[in-house]
Amino acid sequence: MSSGSHLSKELHDLIKSIGETRSKQEEDKIIIKEVQQLKTKLNEKNMPPKKVKEMLIRAIYIEMLGHDASFVHINAIHLTQSKNLALKRLGYLCCSLFLDNDSELLILLVATLQKDLASTNVHIVVNALTAVGKLISKTFVNALTEPVLKLLTHNTDIVRKKALMVMQIIRQLNQDCITEQDYDDRIRRGIQDKEPSVMGAAFNLYHEELKKGAVNKYKPLTGTFVSMLKQIIEHKLHKDYDYHRFPAPWLQIKLLQILTLLGANDLKVSEQIYEVLGSTLRRADDTTINIGYAVTYQCVKCISGIYPQQSLLEQAANSVSRFLKSDNNNLKYLGINALTQIVSISQKYVLEHQMTIVDCLESNDDTLKKETLELLFKMTNEQNCEVIIQKLIHFLKTSSDTNFKKDLFVKISLLNEKHAPTQEWFIKTANTLFEFGSEFIDNDVRNNFFKLLIDNFNDIGTEFGVFITEIYSDLLKNELQDNILKIVCWVIGEIGSQIYDQDPNKLNELTQLVITKLDSQLESETTISWILTCLAKLQSARAFQMFDQTRAIFQKYMQSKNLDCQQRAIDFFTLAKFNAALKGSKFVTVDPKMSFLDAYVQQERQRGAQPYNPSLQVKAAALGSATEAPSLNFGPYSDNKYGGAKTATFGTEENKTTTQNPSAPTIAGPWDDTGYNQKQPAAPKLVVATPMAIGSTTGMGSNGSGQTTTTKTAMQAMGSGQMGVNTNSTQNTYIPPVRPLPPKEDPNLKEKQKLANQLFAPISQTQQQPIPTQKKGISAVSTQKPMNTNPNPIQAPQQKPPAQVQNLLEIDDPIPAQQPVLGVPQVYVQQPQIITQKPIVPQQIQPQQQQLQPQQQWSQPPPVQTIPQQQIKQYIPANINVDQYEQLWDRYQNIKEVTLQSKVKSEQDFRRMIQAININIIEVIEQEIICAGANAENKSCVLLYGCYNSNGSLDLKINSTDPKDGEYILALIKRQFC
């Protein structure tokens, strides 16, 4: 064949010249020349096909060397249309090699492929199928599906098996092309094929499906696979499938892979597999050929992959030990790998190979070493850790492979942390590790180590501290690498200084030791910084009573050219000046609650300062500056506006209590301006001159008599003041939520009551006061909210009554429509009807009220009756947490337990109820809610536990300091929510 030799000649020259090149540049030159030549030649007309073939082979060569030969792509496509099989094959090969499956040229191929797939020539079909397998893409998948599926029943096995593989690719590309059912049927027919090679191809398809997660779907086929494997190992297949007399090893491997996936975590399926697995392993073990080992290895993988079985595991471990003892590194590697698999199931079978495994580390084979290290790392436990770490450290000492050493270093330190039997051992190992792997000590390693030491020191204490200080000060006597010296310095500075802070001699001794290191040969100046810090820490232990020597050193380093050292030296003197604690942050316990200020706060409060109330500020912020005034009032108000120094003091007191109340009514109305503030200086003036005051009175009338209301106001104010204290105190440490107010307030209360009596008695008699103003007042009530934005403290107490009124109204109404309007309706004034016996307030107030605000119509019942003031109960929320709640619950013994049929059917209902009582919810766990509040009057605490049910049954447990509170709240709930 002359053309053949011709082809060889030119190609030969190309290969030879490329082979002789010394550099990439030379090679490139030749290739560029070659490409030019090819381009012109390929453009010539009437090129004999054989010439084209030869050129394409050269193009393959060019592309293989990494150069672009895209100019031949079109020729390759042309070649596929040739009738000559050799040319067609080359054409398809070039297409497969050159074209991506998103190439635009592919569209030119589709028709040819369709034709060739339908060809009667088996070899054309096979080549076309191979090309389809490589080149098929989403764009053409539809056009090619039909012809490929037809080939599944082709009478040649080569075609059938390739068609199966292509079918899998088609299904991957587009699931719609083949229905799941159809696909399953077709693979099942594949494994039933009379030709084992087709069957083998079908196994691959099952394996892929299983890998994708379709395990359950194919579990019923386990029996089929098991019997196939059985037939194979029993030599039931044709001898052609033997490989070195071993029956179809690749099929065995594939089947084992399938069975592993099927049997994973499934005892039932695994039970079907155990027997055949055992015999497969036995038979594979009998051989001494590589492929036999491959099957053995696959068996071991299968055994460790499926539901574990004792005897099989033992069998596997035995087989693996053969691998490990082999001289062949491949087998050792697989043995280690297999053990890694087994160790995750049971350490037992691995431990006996411990020393063999450790020896594998000595191998000069990288892969093997890495794998072994991995295994050792996995199999180390408390028992074998000493041996293994010792061995590993030995390798660390002897190995010259930096990467391996680094790996070792990391692994050893991890193992040491995890499994070290004793503290001493841990420290010693760490030191050895640092000694031999000092180049691997970086900040992370150090910090991690320090953290461990400090944690241990904190846990164990002095004993451990003495121990490590001893060890490390001993180390100082030797030559040390900088990295270790840093660690030593840290330990002595941090722990030594704490241990010996009462022992100046010892400190001096340590200092001397450290100082000697300053004169030693150091690798870097940063080490000096570490030493200086250490010295500083040692000095600080004795409150900077400096040894002269140290002082001299620091003075010297103040002149240092190294900025870090200089800075440290300067810092040292500054710190020494203030005797600051240099010993580390551990001694500074940050108290976020700043409880150390409690005494001061208390003192200030008693002087009349306002307590801090975060919630109010938040509210104020949330509500915006509806009231332009400053949001906080500090100190007494100048009462110029209202006149009378007395008012001023009074106001101060009031302000103090109210602003801090989280539950304080958020209404600021003109009517409270007058309230009872003005009354003091001149009550009559109030009534006449300030209609707002009257408005307020009438407003309060809804609660009962003006008198009562005032009293309530006062109490409310106190209550809120009380709450202020509470919120304040609970922030710090636990204080029972309810604490008696300073007695100081009592006179105020009385005063207020007195005032109120003076003031409101007349008003209630003269109810008919200017209505418009009243309206104005009330509308203001409902709009102006944040009371702490009110510039005038005096207003504060007066703000409350309206809120109470409104709340009262709300309570009367089963669905408190007003609450959302109010925003913060926590203040509750108790329903008078329950407790009061004597109606006091004249009915006349009512019409007026109705005029004022339609909402208040609901409040008709309350005004009808009034309560003697001492009977009025108001509750205020108590800000306690769950723990405090539990403590209190245990403390109080007045538990009331009832189950009611109520209107409370949801959490919302429950919340509404709690809101109505004006106590607060502490925690909600599903349908159980716990709440706490305090009686504003006598500061007794009320704890409530409730469990609602959608059918309306309500379990309540109320616990309180005063049993009356329990009864009262219960009565309230019964009345309003049942």
Partner 1 sequence: MIKVFLIVNSSGKIRIRRFYDEVEFARQQQIEQKLVQLTSKLSPNSCNFFKDLDGIYDKKCKIVMRFFGTLYFIAVIDEDESELGVLDLIQNIVDLMDKIFENACELDVLYHPDKMNALIDEIIVAGIVVETNIMDIQDALKQQETQIKNK
Tokens representing 445? Answer: 């390693």
Which of residues 298 and 698 has its CB atom nearest to partner 1 in the complex?
298
Q: Three-class SS of residue 955?
A: strand
C-alpha 951/C-alpha 616 separation (Å) is: 38
Measured from the CB of residue 405, what is the shortest distance to partner 1 in angstroms?
A: 16
Which of residues 122 and 971 has its CB atom nearest to partner 1 in the complex?
122
Measured from the CB of residue 737, what is the shortest distance to partner 1 in angstroms?
A: 59
Measured from the CB of residue 241, what is the shortest distance to partner 1 in angstroms?
A: 6
Measured from the CB of residue 71, what is the shortest distance to partner 1 in angstroms?
A: 15
Measured from the CB of residue 301, what is the shortest distance to partner 1 in angstroms?
A: 8
Measured from the CB of residue 162, what is the shortest distance to partner 1 in angstroms?
A: 6
Kindly tell me the burial class for residue 608, based on how many C-beta atoms sit within 10 Å of its own C-beta (0-12, 13-18, 19 or more).
middle
Which of residues 127 and 560 has its CB atom nearest to partner 1 in the complex?
127
Say if residues 972 and 917 touch (Cβ distance below 8 Å).
yes
C-alpha 695/C-alpha 217 separation (Å) is: 81
Q: Which of 571, 565, 563 minimizes the C-alpha distance to 540? A: 571
Measured from the CB of residue 274, what is the shortest distance to partner 1 in angstroms?
A: 21
C-alpha 279/C-alpha 262 separation (Å) is: 18
Q: Which of 83, 34, 40 minimizes the C-alpha distance to 60? A: 34
Diameter of the chain measured on Cα atoms: 136
Residue 924 pairs in a beta bridge with: 929
Which of residues 169 and 835 has its CB atom nearest to partner 1 in the complex?
169
Q: DSSP E strands: which ranges in 823-919?
A: 828-829, 874-877, 896-901
Measured from the CB of residue 238, what is the shortest distance to partner 1 in angstroms?
A: 9
C-alpha 495/C-alpha 602 separation (Å) is: 39
Residue type, 111: A
C-alpha 499/C-alpha 469 separation (Å) is: 8
Measured from the CB of residue 297, what is the shortest distance to partner 1 in angstroms?
A: 6
Tokens representing 105? Answer: 């040229």
Which of residues 249 and 737 has its CB atom nearest to partner 1 in the complex?
249
Say if residues 929 and 917 touch (Cβ distance below 8 Å).
no
Measured from the CB of residue 463, what is the shortest distance to partner 1 in angstroms?
A: 44
Measured from the CB of residue 139, what is the shortest distance to partner 1 in angstroms?
A: 14
Measured from the CB of residue 334, what is the shortest distance to partner 1 in angstroms?
A: 7
| Mutual angle of helices 290-305 and 329-343, in 10-degree steps | 10
Which of residues 132 and 934 has its CB atom nearest to partner 1 in the complex?
132
Q: Which residues bind partner 1 (CB under 8 A)?
A: 8, 11-12, 15, 18, 57, 60-61, 64-66, 84-86, 89-90, 93, 96-97, 100-101, 121-123, 126-127, 130, 133-134, 158, 161-162, 165-166, 168-169, 197, 200-201, 204, 207, 211, 240-241, 243, 248-250, 253, 257, 290-291, 293-294, 297-298, 329-330, 332-334, 364-368, 370-371
Which of residues 180 and 401 has its CB atom nearest to partner 1 in the complex?
401
Measured from the CB of residue 8, what is the shortest distance to partner 1 in angstroms?
A: 6
Q: Which of 607, 664, 661 minimizes the C-alpha distance to 636? A: 607
Which of residues 277 and 620 has its CB atom nearest to partner 1 in the complex?
277
C-alpha 656/C-alpha 46 separation (Å) is: 108
Which of residues 277 and 717 has its CB atom nearest to partner 1 in the complex?
277
C-alpha 76/C-alpha 91 separation (Å) is: 5
Say if residues 946 and 924 touch (Cβ distance below 8 Å).
no
Which of residues 282 and 551 has its CB atom nearest to partner 1 in the complex?
282
Measured from the CB of residue 289, what is the shortest distance to partner 1 in angstroms?
A: 9
Measured from the CB of residue 417, what is the shortest distance to partner 1 in angstroms?
A: 24
Tokens representing 422? Answer: 């004793």
Say if residues 816 and 976 touch (Cβ distance below 8 Å).
no
CB atoms within 10 A of CB 668: 28
Say if residues 393 and 373 touch (Cβ distance below 8 Å).
no
Measured from the CB of residue 957, what is the shortest distance to partner 1 in angstroms?
A: 59
C-alpha 355/C-alpha 335 separation (Å) is: 14
Q: Which of 478, 853, 875 minimizes the C-alpha distance to 698? A: 853
Q: Which of 298, 198, 205, 201 minimizes the C-alpha distance to 246? A: 298
Which of residues 124 and 794 has its CB atom nearest to partner 1 in the complex?
124
Which residues have CB under 8 Å from 879's CB, separation 6+? Answer: 662, 723, 726, 727, 730, 737, 920
Which of residues 256 and 476 has its CB atom nearest to partner 1 in the complex?
256
Which of residues 300 and 441 has its CB atom nearest to partner 1 in the complex?
300
Please give the torsion angle defined by the CA atoms of residues 289, 291, 293 and 295, in that order, rounded to the nearest 10 degrees. -140
Say if residues 804 and 869 touch (Cβ distance below 8 Å).
no
Residue 953 pairs in a beta bridge with: 901
Q: DSSP E strands: which ranges in 91-191?
A: none
Run of H or E including 315: helix 310-325
CB atoms within 10 A of CB 355: 12
| Total residues belonging to the chain | 978
Q: Give the position of tokens 């309350």.
A: 862
Which of residues 18 and 609 has its CB atom nearest to partner 1 in the complex?
18
Which of residues 3 and 121 has its CB atom nearest to partner 1 in the complex?
121
Q: Which of 874, 922, 905 minimizes the C-alpha distance to 977? A: 905
Q: Are strands 896-901 and 941-948 parallel, antiparallel or unpaired?
A: unpaired
CB atoms within 10 A of CB 552: 12
Measured from the CB of residue 142, what is the shortest distance to partner 1 in angstroms?
A: 19
Which of residues 291 and 821 has its CB atom nearest to partner 1 in the complex?
291
Measured from the CB of residue 291, what is the shortest distance to partner 1 in angstroms?
A: 5
Which of residues 201 and 528 has its CB atom nearest to partner 1 in the complex?
201
Which of residues 301 and 752 has its CB atom nearest to partner 1 in the complex?
301
Tokens representing 129? Answer: 């199928």
